[in-house]
Structure 1
């Protein structure tokens, strides 16, 4: 039996089509292997150069024969490479697995493969039958309630979202024409990585980071280049947000169903300064059959969250219900776009 992630066959025979589908069903082994090496810090042990499997296993404190089997799987996707002498080396594609990488991928991998997301995705047939997430049935409560009680899951989630954001914050901030002056509020902005990039590019802007108290405690805004131009406001974006010229909602609305999204947008609308804008920074699902990360994330959200990724038409409906109007969509060169809304 072969396990590959090869290209979709063109004009396949019945045998080729069956073989390809079986290969795809084995696809879950690869993220499981990624998670294992991320948890155990295997990439850090390969940072200094290629190693024999026995030495790598000893340094990482893992079973020699089993780590060899996992590395072989990772080598099929170019994350590591098995050399002719049997040593393994970390490739350029695998470098972000290192904990000291400039843009580490490990935290995002650990979030996406955490059992709080992995297990619901294994029960998609229940989602299709009942029309809602299966997280509640598996864990006994909705995701965000579980999240508030399970420190391990919360840590994985916050670290993972920071890793997601770190590799996209700069191009998003560069793609949108933020005002030269005024106030911008990052609603649900986590630790403030995106707000920091925006403030770096607009010296005349004042920034406000709004999120839950336990989140903003670990904010990243206290750097010299934006000194005196920011404040942190613990709060609940369902009830009240500070008045501002720009409200940013980065990867927030996709966590919630339409009704709750409209609640968030109405709260924002009430606090917009005259001529203000709401920026929803989320993926916009494109039409057609081409691959797009948002299509996979949408299924993950379907399994575990009340939310979803959305199309342009779905964003337009949300904005209209909240008294706003979609004015434009700005691509950013990343998976997400800046969906701009103004008063309707």
Structure 2
């Protein structure tokens, strides 16, 4: 028995079959990043043979990977058959002002690649699959491999660096504010905030081995900042305002309430909390946060949240969401105060 298909039916079927092959796009992007293809094209186009020799690759297979990337404007083949850098490929350069090379390599690393392949288990069971695959929870996994620690922090920095200036400019900080950045990593965001708000004093708070690698010295004025070491589930430094970027999305609701509660306990009267994350909009439209949310689903206990879900977290921690401040990036600032 044959089943007649309309043109629309066939088009929809092909759409799904084509979509399922799209994971080869980030795979090819990873190859280009690892081989530093963009670095070797910074001075101009190269024949594939010369480019392959420079990066240590097979000419034919290198061409095939780059030909796929070129379909989205990442690299291009010119009329003479040479491979050229394009504006969309330029951020893959290691020395580009907004280099994302480390971010591309991080997101396509086995810690995310392998977990994404087990997404059905995460959907079925309701939790991350990272520990089952790697033997320990995500953040404990770092302790087993220093190279992975470096990869994660470099990758996150490449994501965050393009967001930091818009976030810093969106923060409504008054002069004289003692601002504590919770889980601030190497201090890239705090450094940007202090440059944009000259009257603010910053405190970088994170684990000892993370704070040890901070870059706040680049400010050139060590009277405007200090570092503090500890565990944000235990106790945080006193301050007028608390800033946390891409922190709450790593943790479950109960864990987020613990973090927010520690900030509430330590904040000075009239204090504020600024939680910087993607805020998921209602409806079916594409949103960058919806993609990140699925990544988090398979690897972490956390998730991206809607404005209403942030309000619930803050309320449970004895805080009130005052407003959600958009930025000129994919991030928003959820501002809260003591209830």
Instruction: Using structure 1 for the length normalisation, give the TM-score.
Output: 0.95
| Match among 192, 197, 222 for residue 217 of structure 2 | 222
Return the alpha-carbon distance in structure 2 between the equivalents of residues 168 and 231 of structure 1: 23
Residue 245 in structure 1 maps to residue 259 in structure 2? no
| Match among 127, 134, 138 for residue 129 of structure 2 | 134
Shift of 1:182: 2.2
Q: Which residue does 2:188 correspond to in 1?
A: 193
Residues 263 and 53 of structure 1, relative CA distance in 2, 3 Å threshold: same
Residue 145 in structure 1 maps to residue 143 in structure 2? no
Return the alpha-carbon distance in structure 2 between the equivalents of residues 144 and 105 of structure 1: 22
| Match among 300, 312, 327 for residue 295 of structure 2 | 300
- Mapping of 1:173-322 within 5 angstroms? 173-322=168-317
Shift of 1:198: 1.0
Q: Contact (CA 8 Å) 1:34, 1:109: kept in 2 or not?
A: yes
| Match among 16, 37, 44 for residue 21 of structure 1 | 16
Return the alpha-carbon distance in structure 2 between the equivalents of residues 203 and 82 of structure 1: 47
Shift of 1:224: 4.3
Q: Contact (CA 8 Å) 2:206, 2:231: kept in 1 or not?
A: yes
Q: Which residue does 1:3 correspond to in 2?
A: none
Q: Which residue does 1:165 correspond to in 2?
A: 160
Shift of 1:61: 1.0
Q: Determine helix, strand or coil for the equivalent of 2:20.
A: helix
Return the alpha-carbon distance in structure 1 between the equivalents of residues 97 and 7 of structure 2: 42
Q: Which residue does 2:25 correspond to in 1?
A: 30
* Higher alpha-carbon deviation: 273-282 or 152-161: 152-161
Return the alpha-carbon distance in structure 2 between the equivalents of residues 189 and 12 of structure 1: 53
| Match among 320, 328, 332 for residue 333 of structure 1 | 328
Shift of 1:111: 1.2
Q: Which residue does 1:98 correspond to in 2?
A: 93
Q: Which residue does 2:50 correspond to in 1?
A: 55
Q: Determine helix, strand or coil for the equivalent of 1:167.
A: helix
Return the alpha-carbon distance in structure 2 between the equivalents of residues 230 and 12 of structure 1: 64
Q: Which residue does 1:76 correspond to in 2?
A: 71
Shift of 1:204: 1.6
Return the alpha-carbon distance in structure 2 between the equivalents of residues 78 and 191 of structure 1: 33
* Higher alpha-carbon deviation: 271-280 or 174-183: 174-183
Shift of 1:146: 0.8
Return the alpha-carbon distance in structure 2 between the equivalents of residues 262 and 286 of structure 1: 22
Return the alpha-carbon distance in structure 1 between the equivalents of residues 258 and 251 of structure 2: 10
Shift of 1:85: 1.3
Q: Contact (CA 8 Å) 1:199, 1:226: kept in 2 or not?
A: no
In the alignment, structure 2 segments of 5+ residues that lack a partner are 1-5
What is the number of equivalent residue pairs in this alignment? 334
In the alignment, structure 1 segments of 5+ residues that lack a partner are 1-10
